[in-house]
Structure 1
Amino acid sequence: MGRGRPPRIAIFGLLGSGNLGNHGSLDAMLRFLRASHPDAEISCVCSGPEELTRQYGIPSTAITWYQEHGPGRTRLTTVVRKLYGKLADLFRMPRLFRRYDVVIVPGMGVLETTLELNPWGWPYALFLMCVSARMAGAKVAFVSVGASVARERSVRWLYTGAARLATYRSFRDELSRDSMRVMGLDVSQDEVYPDLAFALPDPEPPEPSQRSRRTVALGLMEYHGTSADRGRSTEIYAEYEAKIVEFARWLVDEGYRIRLVTGDPADEVVVNAVLDDLRRTRPALVDSRVVREPAASLGELMGQLAGADLVVASRYHNVQSALRLSKPTISISYATKNDILMEGMRLAEFRQSIRTLSVPRLIEQFRALEARAGRIEPAMREKNTEYTARLEQQFAVLSKTLIDAGPAVRAGRP
């Protein structure tokens, strides 16, 4: 960094809370940093510092004062602590980011509004981080991030303000870059690269199996809609759960072996719903045809998917991981980003919106996918080779422009 000492790098994001997709982006970034910059001092500023330190052995700090200190004993004291935390963060964050030369936001949908979102939660924290880091003279990098057009004026202002302060920006698809352009950000110099998780290595090959049944990985998601659907969130979830349970019954009745997979701890409610239904309606089949082994990382999830013949999933990184492994996949898409993944792999016909999910159509798509699997997989492997090469190019750019280029200039200085 031009200072005669190792670079100090912070990785910033909603990490340590159990979301496997976010951790996959972290895993890919850590692999790059440790291979190309082994002397770098790496730490994390994240939403679950204790869990992240336990898993990765990396020094970690909470993003906000409230995350660090927790709620009060009553509802009133919790509200007071939240309000105090917003004020405290105005002073805490600038002091925190003085420690670093570079702050990296690795992948993730950090500029999205596809799920329920409070503007004074993540959007505010992201904006305050960018302001604090640039004031301290640190470079900020948004690397292969996802974005969508924010309808709420406050969220739009916070997201575009944070992005303008970044030293380096890249997006994981054209839609994300176009979304930021629509919101008023100049993206003419910003590149599009694949999702960081496409840089993860292949998992260990599964043990040879004597099973005669074909295995379907069924990715589940606790879906309640977006912020605009708060009044109907319970109804939206109930409709999705009923349909996914119906499809699971069909798979069991047709003789398939099901592996239930998720991407976030919240998804366990759907797992339980499927298992409870099958135990009640198919008691003689459920134990022999349904497998549930929770994964602690995206790498473990990929290892489970490696043993599947076909994948049907909703969460973005369930779909992405299946495509990364060249598995014939159907996306029950909760956002356009899922559709873009499928289009990139030339699987656009094998997708449905989670909002209008039709089980009969899903069964038709499943049968068509299974019949064409042998022709689909070679094209998927070719695309994965292309994605890996593109990400290697981006890592070289990051080294050149962020880590090897020397210190940044503090905000307000020439």
Structure 2
Amino acid sequence: MNSPVRVGVFGLLGSGNLGNDGSLEAVLGYLSAAHPEAVVDALCGGPEAVTARYGIPATRLHWYRGEYRTASRAGAVAGKGLGKLVDVVRTAAWVRRHDVVIVPGMGVLEATLPLRPWGFPYALFLLCASGRLLGTRVALVGVGAAPIGDRATRALVRWSARLAAYRSYRDSLSRDAMREMGVDTARDAVHPDLAFALPAPESPAAEPGSVCVGVMDFHGGNDDRARADEIHRRYLDGVTRFVRALVEEGRRVRLLTGDACDAPVVAAILDAVDSPLVSAAEAGSLADLMKETAASDTVVATRYHNLVCALKAGTPTLALSYAAKSDALMTEMGLGAYCHPAREVDADRLLERFRELEKRSTELRRTLAERNTATTRSLEHQFTALTAALFPAPDHTLRETS
């Protein structure tokens, strides 16, 4: 009798980012349906949260608990340095216990937001290198990628991808970015974001004129550190003016977030607008976000997975786009004309584009229904391919990417 397959899931999961956790939830749903015999655990950023929510054992990703805090004192610097060495052994020991490790979605091969090479990129490299050395299949499933300027980060990301046994991407831009970084992507597939595999919410009658506005603690990307404060001020001012304009028309506005770090932005807008027509949603999952967007006439959002939720719910959506992945997602779903740059939020221009979105609402809802049907079919193919690659029958062998 064969022993059950041992599957690990890996990433910044349980750390407060709803998109990351939604990707995990989609993969756990796939494993439960297609491989119910699998024994699953996690190596992740928030092990307590993952265990409490999903009922699987979880281990902390980094030995040093202050990994993502800036180290200014000598003790903290030494702790981080020691942690890098300890994590080599910890990661290899964890990988050795598994037959398969899945990295579920997330932008693990990009640096569109501020990112240090010796944080998560280093952890991902340790995972993929351990998998290759120890014979454990590591799969990067439906991940995001983008061109990376920093040399060290780019090298770690490139080698992580090369060492993985399976790769698929959430859009063609991601695959192209990895090809440009020197990874052979000839056998790598592109499928919609994993969050589209989550159950669609019921569609209640939307309140006429209601708008969900998804905000973000946005300071630009990895290459914008020198003007991060300026970018944030301009973003916050533009979004606040947009919300105020909606309220002056008597519209009800719901503020959405996608990460715990977004709370100060919500507080600043509520304080500046100060109207009973504006409220903040307390969403704890992508399912909650989908319900909020399904109950709204229209959505304007920044975070990538806020956009995914709104589009999955079939609600006409305008993107405050901070990266090419947002533009690609909107184009794929038939709303490519409705993107506005998050780095240059102009409330007047944003309102003008928003009016255009509203005028085409009925047509766009039909378009989204059609695109969501195609998206569901594509993700079914993704999971079928994943089973063939990672859980081969006795007479099949894994075809590794290189």
Q: TM-score, normalised by structure 2?
A: 0.95
Taking the aligned partners of 1:160 and 1:84, their CA distance within structure 2 comes to 24
Matching residue of 2:315 = 327
Matching residue of 2:252 = 257
2:284 to 296, 301, 320: 296
Structure 1's 69 and 171: CA in aligned 2 closer, same or farther, altered over 3 A?
Answer: closer
Taking the aligned partners of 2:333 and 2:309, their CA distance within structure 1 comes to 12
Give 1:75 deviation, angstroms.
Answer: 2.9
Identity of aligned residues (%): 48
Taking the aligned partners of 1:47 and 1:131, their CA distance within structure 2 comes to 19
Matching residue of 1:131 = 129
For 1:70-219, list aligned pairs within 5 A: 75-206=73-204, 213-219=208-214
SS at match of 1:67: coil
1:243 to 234, 238, 242: 238
CA contact (8 A) 2:68 2:119 kept: no
Give 1:408 deviation, angstroms.
Answer: 8.2
CA contact (8 A) 2:191 2:382 kept: yes
The residue identity in structure 1 corresponding to 2:250 is: G
Give 1:404 deviation, angstroms.
Answer: 3.3
Give 1:156 deviation, angstroms.
Answer: 1.2
SS at match of 2:373: helix
Taking the aligned partners of 1:314 and 1:120, their CA distance within structure 2 comes to 27
Stretches of structure 2 lacking an aligned partner (at least 5 in a row): none
Matching residue of 1:352 = 340
Give 1:137 deviation, angstroms.
Answer: 1.5
Deviations 1:37-65 (A, max 9, x none): 11110111111111111121110011121
The residue identity in structure 2 corresponding to 1:167 is: A
Taking the aligned partners of 1:310 and 1:70, their CA distance within structure 2 comes to 36
SS at match of 2:213: strand
Deviations 1:69-106 (A, max 9, x none): 99899933222111111111122211111110000011
Q: Tell me whether 11-20 or 73-82 shows the greater mean CA deviation.
A: 73-82
Stretches of structure 1 lacking an aligned partner (at least 5 in a row): 280-285
Deviations 1:327-361 (A, max 9, x none): 10000100000000111122121111111222111
CA contact (8 A) 2:142 2:169 kept: yes
2:373 aligned with 1:385, yes or no?
yes
Taking the aligned partners of 2:229 and 2:162, their CA distance within structure 1 comes to 37
The residue identity in structure 1 corresponding to 2:260 is: P
Taking the aligned partners of 2:270 and 2:348, their CA distance within structure 1 comes to 21
Matching residue of 1:283 = none
2:313 aligned with 1:315, yes or no?
no
Give 1:25 deviation, angstroms.
Answer: 0.7
The residue identity in structure 2 corresponding to 1:217 is: C
Give 1:68 deviation, angstroms.
Answer: 8.9
CA contact (8 A) 1:114 1:148 kept: yes
Taking the aligned partners of 1:349 and 1:387, their CA distance within structure 2 comes to 20
Taking the aligned partners of 1:194 and 1:5, their CA distance within structure 2 comes to 33
SS at match of 1:21: helix
1:398 to 383, 386, 396: 386
The residue identity in structure 1 corresponding to 2:293 is: L
Taking the aligned partners of 1:73 and 1:141, their CA distance within structure 2 comes to 32
Give 1:29 deviation, angstroms.
Answer: 0.6
CA contact (8 A) 1:139 1:408 kept: no
SS at match of 1:330: strand
CA contact (8 A) 2:234 2:344 kept: no
2:2 aligned with 1:9, yes or no?
no
Matching residue of 2:360 = 372
Taking the aligned partners of 1:72 and 1:145, their CA distance within structure 2 comes to 27
Structure 1's 408 and 137: CA in aligned 2 closer, same or farther, altered over 3 A?
Answer: farther
Taking the aligned partners of 2:267 and 2:113, their CA distance within structure 1 comes to 22
Give 1:293 deviation, angstroms.
Answer: 2.5
CA contact (8 A) 1:10 1:103 kept: yes
Give 1:251 deviation, angstroms.
Answer: 0.5
Deviations 1:2-28 (A, max 9, x none): x81111101111111110111111111
**Structural RMSD (CA):** 2.1
The residue identity in structure 1 corresponding to 2:79 is: R
CA contact (8 A) 2:149 2:223 kept: no
Q: TM-score, normalised by structure 1?
A: 0.92
SS at match of 1:65: coil
Taking the aligned partners of 1:231 and 1:290, their CA distance within structure 2 comes to 33
Structure 1's 257 and 189: CA in aligned 2 closer, same or farther, altered over 3 A?
Answer: same
- Which structure has more relative contact order (CA 8 Å, sep 6+)? It is 1
Deviations 1:266-311 (A, max 9, x none): 11111001100112xxxxxx22x12212111111111111111100
Give 1:111 deviation, angstroms.
Answer: 0.3
CA contact (8 A) 1:71 1:77 kept: no
Give 1:227 deviation, angstroms.
Answer: 2.1
Taking the aligned partners of 1:181 and 1:73, their CA distance within structure 2 comes to 34
Q: How many residues were matched structurally?
A: 398
SS at match of 2:64: helix
1:274 to 236, 245, 269: 269
